[in-house]
Amino acid sequence: MSHTPHSVDVALRWSDMDAYGHVNNVQYLRLLEDARIVAVADWLGEGDRLLKAGLIVSRHEIEYLAALTFRHAPVRVDIWPTRVTAASFDLAYEVRDPAEVGEQLYARAESTLVAYDLEAARPRRLSAHERARLQDLAGEPVAFRWRPR
């Protein structure tokens, strides 16, 4: 199973740093949020509709590999779907320097997104189109250091 991750550059904000002078661990999830919105919109075409009306985060997992300090260069978030089921899918992420900036990897993460019918207020099934598209893009799960797969 091969894949080409979607790469989304996300601008840092000075306020992402906390009192230690590093990008705060919680803010990494904010960076993932914006990368995810861009990537899912690109993948599913109907992305705006889907994001506004039908995906909720049911799980996050993240490990931190290096400290990140505010700079004007963005971070690059590589993002790809992994496991796709009838009603949910996992996303893998790697937060790194853009190639023109460096080679540092800052974090790896994984989220589970659940398809949701906002009007009916209950989980829904992914459409055949959504599932096919995600499976087409799917790659290996992210390799966390701490957890054997």
Q: Which stretches of the chain bind a second copy, using CB under 8 A?
A: 10-11, 13-15, 17-21, 24-26, 29-30, 33-34, 37-38, 56-64, 70, 72, 112, 146
Report the C-alpha gap between 85 and 98 in whole angstroms.
Answer: 31
> Smaller CB distance to a second copy: residue 128 or 146?
146
Angle at 13 between CA 10 and CA 18, to 5 degrees: 120
**If we measure between CA atoms, which residue out of 72, 64, 70, 76 comes closest to residue 18?**
70
> Smaller CB distance to a second copy: residue 11 or 143?
11
> Smaller CB distance to a second copy: residue 19 or 99?
19
As beta bridge partners, residue 10 has 75
